[in-house]
C-alpha cells in the first residue's frame, strides 16, 4: 500500500500538466455555464463610482498590461470602457507599457462602434510613453506638455473630447488597469496629491496587496482578476470574455485544491500508517 | 582627480537630491518648473540607459553566436525577434491600423508578440499546479493557517467553490464571500501594511544615505 502511495506521490509531473490541460480546455470547448453568485464589494464600488459621474465627465484610462495578463485584464478594461461609453463619459486612454498598445487597439476597434462613439469626439487614444512617474508628475501641470498629439498624430488640444481638459483637476476620475506596480504610482503621485478619484483593475494574484488603499479610500474601487471582470460584466449586463473564462477558472482552482489535499493526505498515510 | 571622481558627483547628488525632495513639499511655480525639468532630464537619461542596455544585449548575444557557445542558436532569436517587431514598427511609423486595415506592425503584434508573450506566462500555470502538488506540505501550525486561508480564498473565487461552500457549510450562515472579505480586510491588510511601512522606511533611509554621501557604491570602486 505504502509503495503504491509513494509511487503516486512521485508521479511524473507531465501527468499533472496533462490533467490541467484537460481541465482548462474542456470548459472552453463545452462551457458549463455556472452562474456567478456573488459580486465583491470592491467591484461594486468601482462600478458605482463610475456610474455616479455626470454625463460628459472626462475619465482618463491608464491601461498598463501586456499579453501575459491579457486574459484577466482585457475583459476588465473592455467592460469598464463599455460602461463609460454607455454613461456618455468622455474617455482618454494612455499607457506606459509598450505591449499594451496593440491590446488597446483591439478594444477600440470594436467597443466604440457599439455605442456610435467617434475617435477624437468621444474618445482619444494617446501614444505609449516611457517613464510613467515622470509623465504622471508632468501631466499635473500641463497634460499637453506630454501628450501634444494623439496616437494618429492629430493635435490633442484641438480634439473635441479634450475640451476644457488641461490637468488632473479637470478630470472626473482616473481608471488604472494594470498587472504592474504602476498603480502604486497613480495612488501616490496623482490620487493622493491632486485629489483625483482613482479606480483600479488588477490581476487576482496582486489583488490582496491593495487592501490598505481601499480601506483608506485612496482607491474608490478595485476589480480583481477574471472573477472581477465577470462581476463587472454582470453589473453592466454585458457578458464577455470574463464570464466565459470563469468555467476554466472554476475547474483549474478546484484542481489545485484537490491536488494539495491529495498530496497531504498521501503524506499523512505514508508517515503514520 | 579626486575632485572629478568623488567630490563633484557627490555634490551633484546632494544638491539634486535635496532640491527634489524639497520641491515635493513646496508647492509653488519654481518647484513645479524644477520638477518638470528634472523629469525631462530623467527621460533623456532613461533613453540613453535603454540604448546602452540594448547595445550590451546585442554584444553579449553576438559574441555567443560568433564563439558558438552552448545554446548559441537561442541567441539568434534575440535578433530575429527584435527585427520582427522593430522593422515593421519603423516602416509603419508605429501605426498598427491604417484606413481600417491591420498594418504589418499590427500583424506582428497580434501574431508574434501576443501569442509568444501569453504562452510564456501560461506555461507558469502548469509549473505552479505541479509545484503545489509536490511542495505544499502542511507540516506546521503556520502552514496550516496558510493553507486554510488559501483554501477559503480559492474556493470563494469561483462560483463552483461557492456552491460547494453553501452545500457543506451553509449551516454556519456565513457566506464564503463574507469570510473572504474579513480575511482580506483584517489579516491580509495588516500584513500588507506592515510590509509597506517596512519598505517605505527602508527606502527613505537608503535615499538619505545616498543623498548625504554615506552610501557611495553607485560611484564604483575608485
pLDDT in tens, A208-228: 889 899 999 999 999 999 889
> Cα–Cα distance between A221 and A266 in angstroms, integer?
42
Query: Which range, A199-203, A266-270, B125-129, is most confident?
Result: A199-203
Give the residue from chain B lying closest to A188, CA to CA.
B24
Residues 6+ apart with CB under 8 A from A185: A132, A133, A136
* Contact: A257, B151; criterion CB under 8 Å: yes
What is the average pLDDT across A199-214?
92
* Contact: A102, B120; criterion CB under 8 Å: no
User: What pLDDT was estimated at residue A32?
Assistant: 77
| CA angle (B103 as vertex; B102, B107 as ends), nearest 5 | 75
Residues 6+ apart with CB under 8 A from A144: A156, A157, A166
User: What pLDDT was estimated at residue B221?
Assistant: 64
Contact A167, A142 (CB under 8 A): yes
Which among B35, B115, B185 is the nearest to A137, CB-wise?
Answer: B35
Q: Is residue A229 predicted with pLDDT exceeding 90?
A: yes
Q: What is the mean pLDDT of chain B?
A: 88
Shortest alpha-carbon distance between residue A54 and chain B (Å): 30
| CA angle (B111 as vertex; B109, B114 as ends), nearest 5 | 55
Which residues of A fall within a CB distance of 8 Å from B128? 256
* Contact: A137, B106; criterion CB under 8 Å: no
* Contact: A262, B158; criterion CB under 8 Å: no
Helix axes A2-9, A241-272, angle to 10 degrees: 140
A265 touches chain B (CB under 8 A): no
Q: Which pTM value belongs to this model?
A: 0.85
A270 touches chain B (CB under 8 A): no
Run of H or E residues at A266 = helix A241-272
Contact B155, B182 (CB under 8 A): no
Give the residue from chain A lying closest to B154, CA to CA.
A253
Shortest alpha-carbon distance between residue B156 and chain A (Å): 9
A244 touches chain B (CB under 8 A): no
The answer, yes or no, to whether ipTM is higher than 0.90 is: no
Which residues of B fall within a CB distance of 8 Å from A152? 95
Cβ atoms < 10 Å from Cβ of B10: 16
Q: Which of A208, A213, A247, A261 to mutate to test the interface with B (most CBs of B within 10 A)?
A: A208
Question: Which residue did the predictor score with more confidence, B170 or A177?
Answer: A177
- CA B27, B28, B29, B32: dihedral to nearest 10 degrees? -20
Give the residue from chain A lying closest to B127, CA to CA.
A17
* Contact: B36, A13; criterion CB under 8 Å: no
**DSSP category for residue A54:** P
Which residues of A fall within a CB distance of 8 Å from B115? 67
Shortest alpha-carbon distance between residue A172 and chain B (Å): 22
Summarised one tens digit per residue, pLDDT across range A63-119 is: 999 999 998 999 999 999 999 999 999 999 999 998 899 899 999 999 999 999 999
User: What pLDDT was estimated at residue A14?
Assistant: 92
Which residues of B fall within a CB distance of 8 Å from A208? 184, 188, 192
Q: Is residue A4 predicted with pLDDT exceeding 70?
A: yes
* Contact: B157, A227; criterion CB under 8 Å: yes
> Cα–Cα distance between A34 and A247 in angstroms, integer?
7
User: What pLDDT was estimated at residue B222?
Assistant: 56
User: What pLDDT was estimated at residue B61?
Assistant: 96
Amino acid at each position: 500500500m505504502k509503495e503504491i502511495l509513494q509511487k503516486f506521490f512521485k508521479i511524473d509531473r507531465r501527468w499533472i500538466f496533462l490533467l490541467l490541460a484537460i481541465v482548462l480546455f474542456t470548459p472552453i470547448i463545452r462551457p458549463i455555464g455556472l452562474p456567478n453568485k456573488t459580486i465583491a464589494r470592491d467591484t461594486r464600488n468601482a462600478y458605482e463610482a463610475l456610474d455616479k459621474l455626470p454625463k460628459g465627465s472626462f475619465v482618463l484610462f491608464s491601461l498598463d498590461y501586456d499579453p501575459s495578463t491579457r486574459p484577466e485584464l482585457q475583459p476588465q478594461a473592455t467592460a469598464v470602457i463599455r460602461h463609460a461609453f454607455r454613461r456618455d463619459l468622455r474617455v482618454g486612454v494612455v499607457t506606459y507599457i509598450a505591449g499594451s498598445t496593440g491590446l488597446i487597439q483591439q478594444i477600440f476597434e470594436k467597443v466604440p462602434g457599439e455605442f456610435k462613439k467617434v475617435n477624437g469626439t468621444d474618445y482619444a487614444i494617446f501614444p505609449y510613453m516611457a517613464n510613467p512617474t515622470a509623465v504622471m508628475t508632468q501631466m499635473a501641470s500641463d497634460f499637453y506638455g506630454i501628450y501634444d498629439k494623439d496616437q494618429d498624430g492629430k493635435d490633442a488640444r484641438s480634439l473635441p473630447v479634450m475640451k476644457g481638459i488641461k490637468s488632473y483637476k479637470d478630470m472626473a476620475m482616473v481608471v488604472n488597469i494594470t498587472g504592474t506596480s504602476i498603480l502604486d504610482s497613480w495612488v501616490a503621485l496623482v490620487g493622493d496629491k491632486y485629489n483625483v478619484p482613482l479606480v483600479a483593475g488588477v490581476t487576482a494574484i496582486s489583488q490582496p496587496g491593495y487592501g490598505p488603499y481601499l480601506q483608506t479610500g485612496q482607491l474608490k474601487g478595485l476589480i480583481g482578476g477574471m472573477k472581477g471582470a465577470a462581476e463587472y460584466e454582470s453589473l453592466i449586463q454585458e457578458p464577455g470574455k470574463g464570464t466565459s473564462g470563469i468555467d476554466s477558472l472554476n475547474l483549474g482552482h478546484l484542481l489545485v485544491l484537490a491536488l494539495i489535499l491529495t498530496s497531504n493526505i498521501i503524506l499523512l498515510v505514508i508517515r503514520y500508517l | 582627480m579626486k575632485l572629478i571622481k568623488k567630490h563633484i558627483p557627490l555634490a551633484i547628488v546632494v544638491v539634486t537630491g535635496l532640491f527634489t525632495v524639497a520641491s515635493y513639499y513646496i508647492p509653488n511655480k519654481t518647484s513645479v518648473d524644477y520638477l518638470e525639468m528634472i523629469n525631462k532630464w530623467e527621460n533623456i537619461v532613461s533613453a540613453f540607459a535603454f540604448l546602452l542596455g540594448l547595445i550590451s544585449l546585442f554584444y553579449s548575444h553576438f559574441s555567443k553566436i560568433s564563439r558558438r557557445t552552448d545554446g548559441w542558436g537561442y541567441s539568434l532569436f534575440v535578433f530575429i525577434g527584435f527585427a520582427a517587431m522593430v522593422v515593421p514598427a519603423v516602416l509603419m511609423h508605429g501605426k498598427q491600423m491604417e484606413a481600417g486595415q491591420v498594418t504589418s506592425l499590427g500583424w506582428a503584434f497580434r501574431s508574434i508578440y501576443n501569442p509568444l508573450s501569453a504562452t510564456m506566462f501560461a506555461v507558469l500555470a502548469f509549473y505552479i499546479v505541479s509545484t503545489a502538488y509536490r511542495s505544499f506540505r502542511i507540516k506546521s501550525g503556520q502552514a496550516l493557517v496558510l493553507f486554510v486561508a488559501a483554501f477559503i480564498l480559492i474556493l470563494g473565487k469561483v462560483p463552483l467553490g461557492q456552491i460547494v461552500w453553501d452545500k457543506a457549510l451553509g449551516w454556519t450562515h456565513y457566506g464564503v464571500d463574507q469570510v473572504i472579505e474579513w480575511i482580506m480586510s483584517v489579516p491580509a491588510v495588516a500584513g500588507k501594511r506592515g510590509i509597506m511601512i517596512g519598505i517605505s522606511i527602508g527606502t527613505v533611509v537608503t535615499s538619505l544615505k545616498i543623498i548625504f554621501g554615506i552610501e557611495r557604491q553607485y560611484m564604483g570602486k575608485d
